[in-house]
Copies of this chain bind each other. A is one copy, B any other.
Amino acid sequence: MTRWAPGAAGRLREAAMDLFASRGFDQVTAAEIAAAAGVTERTFYRHYADKRDVLFLGQSAYVQSFVSGIEPLPEGAGAMDLVAGALKSASELFPDERRELSLVRHSVITANPALLERERHKSAELGDTLAELFRGRGIPEPTATIAAGSTVTIFNAAFAEWLHSDRPMSEITAGMLASLRAFASA
C-alpha cells in the first residue's frame, strides 16, 4: 500500500494507484476504485473527471511549481537565473516522502503507451509555458525557447534519477544544471 493524504480524494488516489499497479490501468473501472476506497462512485466523480484524471490532476500544481520559482526573481534576471529558480522551486514539489507514490505512478504510466504519450505531451506544454514566461521576462528568442527546453530536459532527467535514488530532488537538479553548463561550454 502506498501512503497518501487523508480525505476522499487522497484515499481514491491511493486506491487507484494500487489497482492500476496490480491490474493495469485499462483493466480498472472508476466503480472499482470507489469501492476499494470505501466511497460511492458518485464521490469518485466529485473529485475526478475520470480514472485518467487521477494520474494527471496534479498538472497545474506541477506547472505552478516552476512558475513560483521565477516570480520572486528580480527584473533583469538572466535566463540561467530563471532556469535555476524554476528548477529549485519545482524540486520542492517532490520531497522524499513522495518518492514511493511517484514510483507507482511512473510504473503505471510507462506500462501504457497512451498514458506515456499524455505524459510526454504535458512536458511539451510545460516547455511552451516556460518559454512564454521567459519571453515575458525579456529573454529574447531563441534563448527563451532553448532555456525552457533545457529546464524540461533537466527536470525530466533529474526526476528519472530521483525515482531510483536516495538523494533529494533539489540536489539532483542542481547537479544536472551544472552538467548542462559543463557540456555546453566545452
> Which A residues lie at the B interface, using CB under 8 A?
78-80, 116-118, 120-121, 123-124, 127, 142-143, 145-147, 149-150, 152-154, 156-158, 161, 175-176, 179-186
Contacts and interface: CB of A to CB of B under 8 A. Distances in A.
A50 B40 CA distance: 42
B153 A150 contact: yes
Contacts of A182: 143
A183 B147 contact: yes
18 contacts: A80-B183, A117-B120, A117-B121, A120-B121, A120-B124, A142-B161, A143-B182, A145-B153, A146-B176, A146-B183, A149-B150, A149-B152, A149-B154, A149-B156, A149-B157, A152-B153, A184-B185, A185-B185
A161 to B, nearest CB: 7
A80 B184 contact: yes
A175 B79 CA distance: 17
Contacts of A176: 142, 146
Contacts of A157: 142, 145-146, 149
A80 B184 CA distance: 7
A121 B180 CA distance: 23
Nearest to A131: B157
Nearest to A121: B117
Contacts of A152: 149, 153
A80 B158 CA distance: 20
Task: Report which residue of A118, A142, A175 has the largest number of chain B beta carbons within 10 angstroms of its beta carbon.
Answer: A142
Contacts of A183: 79-80, 143, 146-147, 150, 184
